[in-house]
A and B are shown apart, each in its own frame.
Chain A
Amino acid sequence: MWLKQWLAKRKPAKRITRPPVAVTGWLQTNTFHHSQFADLRTLVAEKEKQHLTISLCIPALNEEKTIGKEITVFKSELMSRYPLVDEIAVIDSGSTDKTCEVAQTFGADAYSAADILPETGDRKGKGENLWKAIYQLKGDIIIYVDADINNIHARFSYGLLAPLLLKPEVKYVKAFYDRPLTVSKGVRISGGGRVTEILVRPLFSLFFPELTAIIQPLSGEYAARREVLESIPFPIGYGVETAHLIDIYQRWGLRAFAQTDLDQRIHRNQSTQALGKMSFGILQTFLSRAQALDLIGEIPERSQVLRQFQVRDNTYEQVDSLLKEMERPPMLEIPAYRRKFKRH
């Protein structure tokens, strides 16, 4: 209910008063390549001039194989050599492997999401980690980078941070890639991501045409100003990226976004079944917002069970997955957060 009220507060006035932005113009002014920001000294100077603190958050679940390398590269390049980032933190969803131990060994702070704001409960999902990071981390800007990147490089952070340092009007920066997926012994080139091209881009084309300018709306790497992150709700599961785009767009328009080409990102491939679950979560988030914004009429109560099929011993069997796309309210609504960050 709170989500509907929260969204309703923002729908008509913002949409009417905001002048439309030409997507092509936005693409020219707000789309970057990481190589434009390779001079890290400039970024450090800009950060110091603006008296900003920067946090790097790595949400993780059973990522012991890649987390150490990722932390080492970020710490070396963005803390030891160029003091661009003030803290690197892993927010863990309850890994059963040595993710936290490895993260600490290589110099990151590691927190269990369950231990952050325990009074709000413990829910499982990447969005939960991202949301709790807003409370736990101190940065004026938070960079979120997934933990499963095999070809890690400092550009995955500074490429996202730079537009926020250099363009005051930008509030949220998304990554996009030439994304090869690791398959057996080689790599193959995919398009913009299967769920993006089959689900999200068609939905945005129908309801939020300007948002189609975001080349990879589901990319797991982005950076944002605290003032934005603390004021938007967070779906705890697959819908978090989609929700961010819609909510920020509704409030600040396309001008608040930028995107950076980070070249290749090599990561694990996901099965079609896993992508089905992701799509189901995203669709729930999208429909909630479309309904609250009166973009679609009332629709019947929706099932939260995804039904997929598998074959076992030559017989088909249905696999049911309960996927309830719950949302966390804007962090500003949490008293402990307001106290900690002196928001009145």
Chain B
Amino acid sequence: MQDIVLANLVAIGEVPAPYQHEEGRVRMMLERFSECGLQSCSTDATGNGMAILPGTEGTDNILLFSNVDTLADEHAEPSLAFRKDEIVGPFIGDNSMALAAMASLPILLERLQIRLKANIIVMGAVRMLGHGNLEGLSGFLNNSGLPIRYGLSLEGVQLGRLNYACLGQLLCDITVRLPEDYNWVQFGATGAIISMNDIISRINKIPLPRRPLTTIVFGMIRGGVSYRNIARETVLSFEVRSESAELLSQVAQQIEDITEDVAAHSGVTVKFDIFARRAPGGLDISHPFVKQSRAIHTALGLQSQLYSTTFALTSLIEKKIPALVLGLTTGTRRDNLPEIEEAVAIEPMWIGLAQLAGVLLAIDGGFCDVA
């Protein structure tokens, strides 16, 4: 079984899949799905790659999905390296490992002699990260017409995670731009970076409560062309997370006030764009789906890591579909720009796959349903 999972990992993980250029990886993924015995391999209108493992009864559908897109540079040529205990390569944990596990699922279940009653729909979802804003998953849920009974979001790492709820999120860009008629003499020719600095300082001073947990993550900043030219434009990308939808709205209003104030006082143009809004929500920790999954972890010797995630479950929660996030193995990430290199451990994968088979059996047996 090891060679099949790892060969799928090589086949899928070595095809580049930068945001909006995921077609190659989707094609390869579908080829692997087909080779490994999944049926009806196809792409949908959004570009997601999907296939079905038919159940013996086929009355229920379980959705198993993972993101196909990566944050890789458009011209990156990902190559995986095999070490004795681990595989190393760009974005292998997020999320080639999960795609490889999905492709290997029919063979895994066959070898374990597991025949499920429900259909399993496996999907590599495109345009999920950043500005993609979960487009692949939303597109599938809105347009497929298939009733989904349960959802499982697979992540390459970390084994033991059990995300049953989502924090609310705002994904935001602030763009500071010098206007064409910018008065260099009047305003001291400070350029866009100084104004952005002012905005960041003021956002950082917004008081955030620990309960409900609310945080702001400054993720990325870019601007200017060289060290000797005053920057005409700078862009800040950040995320606001909160357990409270009301707090998210309050923070968004405060940031908007800050940007308007800075624009008014400095003469620069400031654009505040919230391009994704996700409401907090999820399952209750006492939901049988969570309890059964925790029991499976315990049986496999894993300590469940229960925490709210910021990704993936939102679209399912909005549709009232019970959903969890599971990790498949242990791993590490090294931010080695321009590529993020990740390592996944080989040995724990088998526990991760056993966990997946166990959770699917629990769903299929009706043990995760609310009485």
Contact = CB atoms under 8 A, between A and B. Distances in A.
B155 interface: no
Contact of A106 (B14, B79, B82): B82
A69 B3 contact: no
A210 interface: no
Contacts of B75: 186
Interface stretch (A76-84, A119-127, A321-329): A76-84
Contacts of A262: none
Interface stretch (B4-12, B158-166, B184-192, B301-309): B4-12
Contacts of A67: 82
Interface string B1-32: 01110111011001000000000000000000
Nearest to B81: A65
Q: Give the size range of B's interface with the partner.
A: 10 to 19
B83 A72 contact: no
A76 B83 contact: no
Interface stretch (A97-105, A213-221, A229-237): A97-105
A264 to B, nearest CB: 11
A107 B3 CA distance: 8
Interface in A27-80: 64-69, 72-73, 75-77, 79-80
B80 interface: yes
B35 interface: yes
Contacts of B8: 76
B81 A72 contact: no
A105 B79 contact: no
Given A81-B35, A151-B14, A73 B83 contact: no
A72 B82 contact: yes
B260 interface: no
A72 B4 CA distance: 8
A25 B45 CA distance: 47
A67 B6 CA distance: 13
B84 A98 contact: yes
A73 B4 contact: no
Contacts of B80: 69
Contacts of B4: 76, 80-81
Most chain-A Cβ atoms within 10 A of its Cβ — which of B3, B8, B11, B77? B3
B84 A105 contact: yes
A212 interface: no
Contacts of A69: 6, 10, 80-82
Contacts of A153: 11
A153 B7 CA distance: 9
A59 to B, nearest CB: 18
Contacts of B6: 69, 72, 76, 106
Interface string B128-165: 00000000000000000000000000000000000000
A106 B2 CA distance: 8
B109 to A, nearest CB: 15
Contact of A76 (B3, B79, B84): B3
- What 10 A-B pairs come out closest when comparing CB atoms? A68-B82, A76-B7, A76-B3, A75-B3, A69-B82, A72-B6, A76-B4, A73-B7, A72-B3, A105-B84
Interface of B: 2-4, 6-8, 10-11, 14, 35, 75, 77, 79-84
Given A73-B11, A101-B84, 16 more contacts: A64-B83, A65-B82, A68-B82, A69-B80, A73-B7, A73-B10, A76-B6, A76-B7, A76-B8, A80-B3, A102-B84, A105-B84, A106-B2, A106-B3, A150-B79, A186-B77
